[in-house]
Amino acid sequence: MSLIVIMKFFHYFALFLAGGGGIAGGVLAAAHKRAEVPPAPPVQAASMILARLSLVAIVTLWVTGFVLAYAIYGGMDIGWAFHMKLLGATGLLASIGYVNYHLSARGKQGLPPSMQVIKMATMIGRGSLVLVLAGIAIATTTV
């Protein structure tokens, strides 16, 4: 029981961390797009921190999610809605991972991030988040 409580704590904490990072990153990107100016170096540094925190959060969500699935349900065969959630979580992991790579590569070159890449990653992330939220809402609903 205590393992489940500890894993849920870290799972929920990572969820809040990822959500906050995603919202903050989106607000920064939108503000710079509206102003039609590239992000200043301090904003690029802040974006990199947010991206890294989001990556740590999504990896934490995956690890704790696996532990919880096996501890509570005995495996990952929890139904189609749970698999839809996993598909969304995979999209989130891929988009967050790629944004981290992109920001690192562009930062090393002294270039601002490509707004096209950020826009695409944001769209993939939002779509993936819809799958995650719908999947978990369906999977955890008993009627």
For residue 22, the model assigns a pLDDT of: 77
pLDDT at 6 over 90: yes
pLDDT at 1 over 80: no
CA pseudo-torsion sign 17, 121, 105, 46: negative
For residue 26, the model assigns a pLDDT of: 77
For residue 113, the model assigns a pLDDT of: 81
For residue 9, the model assigns a pLDDT of: 96
When divided into structural domains, the chain yields a total of 1
Average pLDDT over residues 93-109: 90
Pair 118, 29: CB distance under 8 Å: yes
For residue 71, the model assigns a pLDDT of: 94
Cα dihedral 135/140/141/143 (nearest 10): 130
| pLDDT interval class at 67 (50, 70, 90) | very high
Could you write out the DSSP letters of every residue in the chain? -HHHHHHHHHHHHHHHHHHHHHHHHHHHHHHHHHHT-PPPHHHHHHHHHHHHHHHHHHHHHHHHHHHHIIIIISSS---HHHHHHHHHHHHHHHHHHHHHHHHHHHHHTT-PPPHHHHHHHHHHHHHHHHHHHHHHHHHT---
pLDDT at 76 over 80: yes
Alpha-carbon distance 87 to 132, whole Å? 8
Show the domain range for 80: 2-139
